């Protein structure tokens, strides 16, 4: 009897998928799940340890940490998903055009060379440093952070896509298809992209992990605009001064951030088996 993909999946992969699903669902349902207003400060409740009223304790302004973690997930993951979209769509387009152009006649190789010069120039900068430069140009705010992180990740994804397209086009049956007059567009769309989809999807997951960490890093550094808005990076920054006396202030957002990235990476590892 043939087992389903879920039955064949390693237990760790299923656990990672379940954990990621819970975290995403908690972020989506934050307005219904949060017991308190994440922005509401109650000075007399500041730095309370975890209790029934405040499961994750309160921060230095008396705000409920559990509610802020839930709403922080919406903001952090929203920025990361937008950033991943900014990376993946243009990166896919650049990689496909460059990879196909390398094999094409006429101006194709020149187009490939020109695009890769630009991508290599961007890759010369460390990922987070390039995002910082972009934020400095665009200004502070969640949309600006998403755009900056997305543009910073674009060169790597374009490079991976280009390499996969070049490898795909080198297969004998596709060389034969081109020899009998098949168009580049049809060959790439019908034969190359379906074949390299697993590679691109795996690197898309890595891109999402980078986007989550870099978005949180930029809000941690104060580039998120509204500093009172709940965000995992902002919460870690707020807890720097009090983590010795109130460690729960940084443990909760740090654990949420780490578990999200860990779940994505474990899911990717399992999907490659």
Domain assignment present for 195:
yes
Residue with tokens 């020149």: 110
Whole-angstrom distance, CA of residue 241 vs CA of residue 220: 13
Domain assignment present for 61:
yes
**Counted domains in the chain:** 1
**CA dihedral of 71, 84, 262, 56, whole degrees rounded to 10:** -10
Q: What is the pLDDT of residues 218-258, one digit of tens each?
A: 999 989 877 788 999 999 999 998 999 999 999 999 999 99
Domain assignment present for 29:
no
End-to-end CA distance of the chain: 20
Q: Which domain holds residue 121?
A: 57-271
SS3 217: helix
Domain assignment present for 18:
no
| Each residue's pLDDT expressed in tens, for the chain with a length of 273 residues | 456 556 667 788 889 999 999 999 999 999 999 999 999 999 999 999 999 999 999 999 999 999 999 999 999 999 999 999 999 999 999 999 998 887 666 677 898 899 999 999 999 988 889 999 999 898 888 999 999 999 999 999 999 999 998 888 777 666 666 555 556 666 777 777 888 888 899 899 999 999 999 999 999 998 987 778 899 999 999 999 899 999 999 999 999 999 999 999 999 887 765
**Residue 32's pLDDT is what?**
94
Whole-angstrom distance, CA of residue 49 vs CA of residue 64: 11
Instruction: For residue 82, give the DSSP letter.
Output: H
Q: Report the half-sphere exposure of 36 (CA within 13 A, side-chain side).
A: 22
Q: H-helix or E-strand containing 109?
A: helix 108-123
Q: What is the pLDDT of residues 186-217, one digit of tens each?
A: 677 777 788 888 889 989 999 999 999 999 99
CATH number for position 86: 1.10.3720.10
Domain assignment present for 187:
yes
Whole-angstrom distance, CA of residue 189 vs CA of residue 243: 53
Whole-angstrom distance, CA of residue 59 vs CA of residue 243: 10
Q: Are 79 and 149 in contact (CB under 8 A)?
A: yes
Domain assignment present for 17:
no
**Residue 117's pLDDT is what?**
94
Whole-angstrom distance, CA of residue 72 vs CA of residue 235: 8
The residues near 43 (Cβ < 8 Å, ≥ 6 apart) are 61, 62
Q: Are 83 and 150 in contact (CB under 8 A)?
A: yes
Domain assignment present for 42:
no
Closest to 158 in 3D by CA, of 210, 87, 213: 87
Q: What is the largest CA-CA distance in the chain?
A: 79
- pTM for this predicted structure: 0.88
């Amino acid at each position: 009897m043939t087992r389903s993909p879920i039955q064949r999946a390693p237990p760790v992969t299923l656990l990672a998928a379940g954990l990621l699903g819970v975290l995403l669902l908690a972020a989506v349902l934050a307005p219904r799940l949060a017991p308190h207003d994440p922005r509401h400060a109650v000075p007399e409740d500041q730095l309370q340890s975890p209790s029934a009223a405040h499961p994750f304790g309160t921060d230095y302004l008396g705000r409920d940490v559990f509610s802020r973690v839930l709403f922080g997930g919406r903001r952090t993951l929203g920025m990361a998903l937008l950033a991943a979209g900014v990376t993946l769509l243009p990166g896919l387009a650049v990689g496909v055009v460059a990879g196909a152009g390398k094999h094409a006649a006429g101006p194709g190789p020149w187009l490939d060379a020109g695009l890769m010069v630009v991508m290599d120039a961007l890759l010369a900068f460390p990922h987070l440093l390039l995002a910082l430069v972009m934020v400095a140009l665009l200004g502070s705010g969640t949309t600006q952070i998403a755009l900056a992180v997305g543009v910073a990740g674009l060169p790597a994804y374009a490079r991976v896509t280009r390499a996969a397209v070049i490898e795909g086009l080198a297969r004998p049956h596709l060389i034969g298809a081109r020899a009998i007059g098949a168009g580049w567009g049809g060959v790439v769309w019908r034969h190359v992209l379906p074949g390299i989809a697993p590679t691109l999807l795996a690197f898309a997951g890595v891109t999402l992990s980078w986007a989550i960490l870099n978005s949180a890093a930029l809000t941690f550094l104060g580039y998120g605009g509204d500093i009172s808005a709940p965000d995992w990076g902002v919460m870690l920054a707020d807890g720097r001064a009090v983590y010795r006396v109130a460690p729960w202030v940084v443990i909760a957002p740090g654990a949420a951030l780490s578990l999200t990235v860990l779940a994505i990476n474990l899911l990717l590892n399992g999907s490659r088996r």
